[in-house]
Amino acid sequence: MRLQSTRHQSPEVGFKEAIFRGLPPDNGLYLPVEIPTLSSSFWQYCDQLNFQEIATAMACGILQGSIPEKELRALIFKAMDFSAPAVKLHKDLYCLELFHGPSMAFKDFGARFMATTMSYFLEQSGEKLNILVATSGDTGGAVAQGFFGVPGISVTILYPKGKVSQVQELQLTTLGGNVKAIEVNGTFDDCQALVKQAFLDEELRSKYRLASANSINIARLIPQSFYYAYAYAQLKHLWKDLVISVPSGNFGNLTAGVMAMKMGMPVSYFVAATNVNKVVPNYLESGEFQPISPSIPTLSNAMDVGNPSNFPRLLALFNGDVEKMRAKIKGFSFTDEETKLGVKELYESYHYLACPHTSVAYLGLKKAMEMDGGEHAGVFLSTAHFGKFLPEMESILGFSPELPEALQISGKKEATEMDNTYAKFRAYLTQHLI
């Protein structure tokens, strides 16, 4: 497998180098030079396979020998020992539940694949590694759990102070050990900018080995494409063209869906469903990419991203052509009031408890399907368990749903508070990196 930068100003690299570098030197994003189409028989018979088997077939296809097939299979079965069921709510309306991993968010697929793959390579070399990651809520918890206790790896998580839910904060601040948290006085975009600056700091990089666990790292993104194929496999029996609605913030999730499409997954189109941080829906409408700064705090906090870092990758997958993107992605955005109504509607119409992010995806799908006259089958992605947002659920629904055991976290929060300037962050890193 060869990967190139979206800016084409850096040398091509192999999979191992791409995942340990995170970002190419020209500050673009790595994308596979070739995304192979899987055989038509795979897509024809994928409904006979379970999630892990589909994941293995896709990984073998895209990684093209970067990890020997037998070892890759073992690695996938170890990392992703949970599934992604498509739950039927109504005729032709499905919810793809992506919250059955340890942190109860879709980020577990990428974080656990990445942790397992990195330790596979590190075991071979015996080197040490520092993971830097920015989170607006869900990535942090998944990365904390995925990398907790992994020998030779130290993790630093940055999150915006006061802008993540209580459960999300506890998930990323209570493990201790090799996982450290920094609460930044600022937004998620500030956290992301600090991390990116560290990656471009050649002096720092000459002393410490740094890697990213955000979806800017291709190893986070590739495994997210597996559950799209599994959604297709589960809905194939409907014999209808599929619309997939993706709740979107940093746009890694949708990018992974487009990669699955490039591997041959049949899909009519995707919906990019956002909250009022609607940079991509605006782009689809106007053709202008205008980051929102600062990002606007909303009920669907994990999607409060004003400058989605995967956008260049998404655009590159459509050869930089907005018309090609428009043919495959429809963008819709929703206010918090609409999001609340979506949570209520899902509960009252289908007895389905959905978090605010999932509600945004549902609303996007509903709008798209109303516009295309109900010709399609639709699936919306549920990116996190509602238990991560219990106070919000309670105020919307008027009762408090039960909190699953995995989210009943009793540890004590430990985080270093910091302003959003690089000098402070750099000083912290030079004291804590391994």
Ligand X SMILES: N[C@@H](CCOP(=O)(O)O)C(=O)O
Minimum CB separation of residue 376 from ligand X in Å reads: 27
Q: Which residue has the tokens 């992994």?
A: 150
CB of 55 to ligand X, least distance (A): 18
Ranges of H-type helices in 329-373: 336-350, 356-371
**What tokens does 200 get?**
């471009």
Q: Which C-beta is closer to ligand X: that of 131 or that of 379? A: 131
The CA distance from 172 to 366, in Å, is 33
Tokens representing residue 152 in the block: 């030779």
Instruction: Give CA–CA dist 76/41, Å, rounded.
Output: 22
Nearer to ligand X among residue 252 and residue 342 (C-beta): 252
Beta strands in 113-249 (DSSP E): 129-134, 153-160, 179-185, 210-212, 242-247
Stretch 244-263: interaction string toward ligand X, x if CB under 6 A: -----xx-x-----------
Give the x/- contact pattern for ligand X in 47-76, rule: CB under 6 A: ------------------------------
In the complex, least distance from residue 240 CB atom to ligand X, rounded to whole angstroms: 30
Extract the tokens encoding 209.
Answer: 């080995």
- Which residue, 89 or 256, is less far from ligand X as judged by CB? 256
- From the list 107, 180, 366, 388, the catalytic residue is 107
Closer to ligand X by CB, 311 or 347: give it: 311
Here the tokens at position 67 are 């990890």
Across the strands, what pairs with 332? 273
The contact pattern for ligand X, residues 137-176, with x = CB under 6 A and - = no contact, is xxxx------------------------------------
Say how far apart CA 382 and CA 101 lie, in whole Å. Answer: 13
CB 277 within 8 A of CB 249: yes
What would the two tokens of residue 265 be? Answer: 């997954």
Please report whether residue 102 would count as binding ligand X according to CB under 6 A: no
Residue (10 or 255) nearer to ligand X, CB = 255
List residues bridging with 246 in a β-sheet: 272
Annotated active-site residue 107? The verdict is yes
135 touches ligand X (CB under 6 A): yes
**Smallest gap from residue 214 Cβ to ligand X (A):** 4
Nearest partner of 339 among 285, 401, 392, 280, judged by Cα: 392
- Which stretch in 81-89, 131-139, 203-211, 343-351 sits in contact with ligand X by CB under 6 A? 131-139
Q: Examine residue 215 and tell whether it contacts ligand X (CB under 6 A).
A: yes
The token pair at 340 is 């609340």
Smaller CB separation from ligand X, 92 or 169 = 169
Binding residues for ligand X, total number by CB under 6 A: 12
Catalytic residues: 107
Binding site for ligand X (CB under 6 A): 135-140, 214-215, 249-250, 252, 302
